[in-house]
């Protein structure tokens, strides 16, 4: 998988931190705590800009941003596949009924 190789490359830590300052005025911890809100566009514009600046420019945080974007793209791609074949659906429902589970509608 190409994205996995890219993630491994990005996760290799440099021997020296090339960015001792905190991009966007945020620590890595603060940016990491806001990563998912930022990706979902749920932050106030000013804070969102600061978090985005940090995530896009920090050598330590950028690999996680790339991973999360790739993961979301993979999940979205899998969701486009569609519904399971009807035969598989019937088999699963039959197994659930045999085990006493209520499969619902």
Domain that holds residue 68: 2-98
Q: Which tens digits make up the pLDDT trace of 15-51?
A: 545 444 687 789 999 999 999 999 999 999 999 999 9
Nearest to 65 by CA among 78, 48, 77, 52: 52
Q: Is residue 28 part of a domain?
A: yes
Provide the pLDDT for residue 33. Answer: 93
Is the per-residue pLDDT at 7 higher than 70? no
Q: How many CB atoms lie within 10 A of CB 9?
A: 10
Q: Is residue 65 part of a domain?
A: yes
Q: Which tens digits make up the pLDDT trace of 56-66?
A: 999 999 999 99
Q: Is residue 103 part of a domain?
A: no
Q: Is residue 77 part of a domain?
A: yes
The number of distinct structural domains making up the chain is 1
Q: Which tens digits make up the pLDDT trace of 59-93?
A: 999 999 999 999 999 888 877 777 778 898 899 99
Percent of the chain, pLDDT > 90?
A: 47
Q: Is residue 105 part of a domain?
A: no
Region label for 104, one of left (φ > 0), alpha (ψ between -120 and 50) or beta (otherwise): left
């Amino acid at each position: 998988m190409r994205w996995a190789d890219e993630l491994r490359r990005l996760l290799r830590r440099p021997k020296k931190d090339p960015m001792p300052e905190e991009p966007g005025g945020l620590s890595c911890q603060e940016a990491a705590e806001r990563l998912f809100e930022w990706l979902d566009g749920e932050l106030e514009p000013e804070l969102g800009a600061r978090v985005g600046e940090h995530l896009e420019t920090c050598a330590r945080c950028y690999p996680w941003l790339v991973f999360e974007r790739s993961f979301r793209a993979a999940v979205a791609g899998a969701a486009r596949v569609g519904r399971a074949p009807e035969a598989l659906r019937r088999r699963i429902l039959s197994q659930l009924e045999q085990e006493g589970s209520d499969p619902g509608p």
